[in-house]
Structure 1
Amino acid sequence: MEKHWPSNSIELRSSCSVETFGCPVCYFCPNSWKRVGFFTVNSAKNNSEASKGLQNESKNKLSRILWTEAAVKGIERKAGLTNSTSLWPRAVLDALSDKIEKNQWESALEIFQLLRKQHWYHPKSQTYVKLFQMLGKCKQHEQASWLFKTMLAEGLKPTIDVYTSLLGVYGLSGQLDKAFHVIDEMKAISDCKPDIRTYTVLINCCFRLSRFDLINWVYEEMSYYGLELNTVTYNCIINGYGKAGMLNDMEKALTEMLETGTCLPDIYTMNSFMWAYGNYGQIEEMEKWYDEFQHMGIEPDIQSLNILIKSYGGAGMHQKVTSVMDFMTRRYFSPTTVTFNIIIETFGRGGNIEEMERIFRMMKMQGVKPNCITYCSLVNGYSNAGLLKKIPSILRQMDNSGVIPDTPLFNCIINAYGSAGDLEMMEEMFVKMKKKQCKPDNVTFSTMIKSYTSRGMVEAASEVEDKMRHMEQYS
């Protein structure tokens, strides 16, 4: 099929779907996005009534946000410290949802215990499903086993969704034997047989653990029970092979998908192909498939464009990065935090600090809030350029904007100072890290050990090694 990719620009089609997509297992699952200007600021109409309406709406939204934040903090303080059984339902449930959304599993389970003490509490399987999904992301299979026992003790009958989410926790935690045991349990229950969603989650877990030898067994199991692969399952398979670099198998899966006649590729299929070829540096193949999927009637979304930017940036093709950015401006795509993070990382890694800082300023002007990944990219950019004097200003900006630094960010800062030989600042950041209640991990200690060792400070390196062993012993 003929391609149309000019040497200095890329062909990007104009029509774009604005549908909101959602997928439970695939890697590329963009949330809702709006088609507003990329590098423009849209002003409200010059109408006093409309202006007042917008102001009132903004005040109401702000009030709800502030109320929710206050309620969450209040309930979090009470969790584990109170025996009250008459707390306000909305406050408790909002606090629980907040912790689940942030994957703060320890706080979430404490609030869940508080929830169970309330006189108005009624067990619901959907609450357990959400908790299992969170524990899966955090790889806390032991906590999931306890939670399942708690659910049974409350008299709740497990549903297919409950079993599927429990299977996901075990699979994502590397406990495939337990995951298959869940399948066996489901088979023994007449009204709780594994369905296509269950097997799709299992396939996803096998891919994540590189257990490709089990994929065909799962296919045979599904065929035995009369279950046919659907689009979501094929997307999971395509994504799994793509991430593993098994690009021929990925293309074979697409061929099988098309041959069914009922499972049509969608935006997730397209993004998985683009990500796989872009990630492995096969830019021409990525561009070819970008064009092929559009001929199938699939138009790119913001995730597709993020993939293009990241792939071109990784290949040092900054002119094409600019082309994609220009396309986003013309076609009114709204950039996400991920979009800006990728662009900032690209220019920072390429040593173009001036452009990196310009994009960061633009991000804030557009009202897109930076996160820890944004600041990590800035730190790495300054570190590569030898501009360590700018790092303290990043921490001040984070404090002013309310972004709470996490362990990976401090690891970036510690590595920056350690690599530059500024061990005094490295140690200062390590102390500050603990003050900010960020728990050091193996990356933190390994970075410091490397810095000390490279400068012949064997005794200091040995002390850090002892701290690391102590942490592993009591973790």
Structure 2
Amino acid sequence: MMSSLSKSEFCLIRLYSSRPSWVPSFITKWTRSSSSRSSPKSASPDFLINHKDWLSPNEVVKIFQTLEDPTLAISAFNEISKRKDYRPTEAVYTSVITKLAQAKHFDAIEELMQRIKIERSCRLSDDFFYHVIKIYGHLAGRINRAIETLFDMPNYKCWPTIKTFNFVLNLLVSTKQFDIIHEVYMGASKLGVEIDACCLNILIKGLCGCGDLNGALQLLDEFPKQHCKPNVRTYSTLMHGLFERRRFDEAFGLFERMEKEGIELDTIAYNTLIWGMRKQGGKVEEGVELLRRMRFKGCEPNEATYQEVVYGLLEGKKFVEAKDFMDRMMSTGGRPSYDSFKLLINGLCSQGLVEDVNWAVKKMVCYGYAPKKGMWAPMIRLLMVSRNRSNNELLLEEIIGNG
């Protein structure tokens, strides 16, 4: 028997075969299965051997960090809390709550939070509550509980930072809880939170999301009242909302206002403007010029930038220019969409450009796209009227091989 066990495992078995009263029962369960587990990540309480009658908070944290079965977290915590040396810390509570979240035991987290409030055995930081609120919002889908936890923080003798406050606001926007956002925002003073530009930007995003563009525009006047300045994210969000509702003059007016205030545009802002120009129609050249200006200013375009320009050129029936832009896009690592290839090929076919169609089909296949039935007819018609037999054969090979 000794030959099949390590020295430490043999010592553990001897130690726990006559388990003293100080050893929690759940640790005995771990020990029974230790001989069948060899992974160094196993939840083994080896470190307890040298502390038979005392566990430090750091050692308690290690127990939960190495606990393989998260469903045992609450029973393990109950056992440890019965010990005379039980001294909870923020790190202990965080490790327990993290394991409960992994097990999706969200009711147990709520019960533990109530227990923490009653015990008041240690001071908790804003980071702790940010972690709990994030679990409620993202993992549990308990949005109301996230809000309640935010406003309950003073009862734990902790006041939220703007980071945690803004997280809750953004959570409400992302989950489209537009009717609650203003109520939470108005509670900032009760929580001692000082509003910043990020907070106002989240509100603008929410108002644009629910279609209240006038309310979003009015929030621009709120910035100086809160001793804040609107930034590029403020204007990008507003311009996008205005473009969506075809309020083009107001959107471009904001662009001019940005320039007067000396706010540098970033890639997202440029993409929004190019998209707006495309949506307005007939401003293809302006979009191309904006791309040139963007690069001149040292702001690198991304895949979305090129894609917007390509769509604008395709919609303006500038198919050869669109092909050149797609080529440039691919050379920078971008991936054109299937729709852009489809529109390009159909457009090139209509102009009888066999070689360009052949190039487009090959590139399309390289990116894992296959021409669908709707694309075959214009290509076959092009083959029938074209006099270049070699190009016809190449294109026909691509169609047959990937159709």
Using structure 1 for the length normalisation, give the TM-score: 0.48
Contact 1:242/1:272 (8 A) holds in 2: yes
Aligned partner of 1:257 in structure 2 is 188
CA apart distance, 1:359? 0.9
Query: In the aligned structure 2, how far is the partner of 1:419 from the partner of 1:203?
Result: 51
SS of the residue 1:215 aligns to? helix
Contact 2:341/2:364 (8 A) holds in 1: yes
User: Mapping of 1:17-416 within 5 angstroms?
Assistant: 177=104, 195-204=125-134, 206-208=136-138, 210-216=141-147, 218-219=149-150, 222=153, 225-260=156-191, 262-351=192-281, 352-398=283-329, 403-406=332-335, 409-411=336-338, 413-414=340-341, 416=343
Query: In the aligned structure 1, how far is the partner of 2:362 from the partner of 2:340?
Result: 11
SS of the residue 1:395 aligns to? helix
Q: Could you list the per-position Cα deviations for residues 363-415 of structure 1 after superposition, in whole angstroms to 9, with x for gaps in the alignment?
A: 12212111112112223323433444333212332366xx2224xx4445346
Query: In the aligned structure 2, how far is the partner of 1:251 from the partner of 1:413?
Result: 41
Contact 1:347/1:353 (8 A) holds in 2: yes
Larger radius of gyration: 2
Q: Provide the aligned C-alpha RMSD in A.
A: 4.5
Pick aligned residue for 1:431 from 358, 362, 365: 365
Summarize the Cα distance change of 1:217–1:250 in structure 2 as closer, same or farther, 3 Å threshold.
closer
Aligned partner of 2:21 in structure 1 is none
Query: In the aligned structure 1, how far is the partner of 2:186 from the partner of 2:358?
Result: 58
CA apart distance, 1:221? 7.4
Query: In the aligned structure 1, how far is the partner of 2:278 from the partner of 2:252?
Result: 15
SS of the residue 2:187 aligns to? helix
CA apart distance, 1:270? 0.8
Q: Quick one: which amino acid aligns to residue 279 of structure 1?
A: G
Identity %: 13
Aligned partner of 2:55 in structure 1 is none
Query: In the aligned structure 2, how far is the partner of 1:322 from the partner of 1:278?
Result: 17
Query: In the aligned structure 2, how far is the partner of 1:362 from the partner of 1:310?
Result: 20
Q: Could you list the per-position Cα deviations for residues 161-216 of structure 1 after superposition, in whole angstroms to 9, with x for gaps in the alignment?
A: 9x79x969x98xxx78288999999999x999874224324434544565425425
SS of the residue 2:104 aligns to? helix
Summarize the Cα distance change of 1:348–1:376 in structure 2 as closer, same or farther, 3 Å threshold.
same
Q: Could you list the per-position Cα deviations for residues 316-342 of structure 1 after superposition, in whole angstroms to 9, with x for gaps in the alignment?
A: 222222222222222222211121111
Contact 1:167/1:179 (8 A) holds in 2: no
Q: Could you list the per-position Cα deviations for residues 26-69 of structure 1 after superposition, in whole angstroms to 9, with x for gaps in the alignment?
A: xxxxxxxxxxxxxxxxxxxxxxxxxxxxxxxxxxxxxxxxxxxx
Query: In the aligned structure 2, how far is the partner of 1:360 from the partner of 1:324?
Result: 19
Contact 1:308/1:321 (8 A) holds in 2: yes
Contact 1:341/1:377 (8 A) holds in 2: yes
Query: In the aligned structure 2, how far is the partner of 1:339 from the partner of 1:325?
Result: 9
Which 4+ runs in 1 deviate beyond 6 A? 178-188, 190-194, 418-426, 453-456
Structure with more contact order per residue of length (Cα contacts < 8 Å, sep ≥ 6): 1
Contact 2:123/2:157 (8 A) holds in 1: no
Query: In the aligned structure 2, how far is the partner of 1:433 from the partner of 1:354?
Result: 28
Query: In the aligned structure 2, how far is the partner of 1:193 from the partner of 1:427?
Result: 65
Query: In the aligned structure 1, how far is the partner of 2:308 from the partner of 2:222?
Result: 33
- 5+ residue gaps, structure 2, are 1-64, 67-89, 350-356, 378-403
Summarize the Cα distance change of 1:429–1:258 in structure 2 as closer, same or farther, 3 Å threshold.
farther
Query: In the aligned structure 2, how far is the partner of 1:235 from the partner of 1:241?
Result: 10
Query: In the aligned structure 2, how far is the partner of 1:247 from the partner of 1:309?
Result: 20
SS of the residue 1:197 aligns to? helix
CA apart distance, 1:248? 2.5
Query: In the aligned structure 1, how far is the partner of 2:230 from the partner of 2:185?
Result: 18
CA apart distance, 1:430? 4.0
Contact 2:295/2:301 (8 A) holds in 1: yes
Using structure 2 for the length normalisation, give the TM-score: 0.55
- 5+ residue gaps, structure 1, are 1-147, 150-158, 435-443, 457-475
Q: Could you list the per-position Cα deviations for residues 205-248 of structure 1 after superposition, in whole angstroms to 9, with x for gaps in the alignment?
A: 54456542542564587566443333222211222222333222
Query: In the aligned structure 2, how far is the partner of 1:397 from the partner of 1:268?
Result: 35
CA apart distance, 1:250? 0.4
Q: Quick one: which amino acid aligns to residue 365 of structure 2?
A: V
User: How many residues get paired?
Assistant: 278
Q: Quick one: which amino acid aligns to residue 229 of structure 1?
A: P
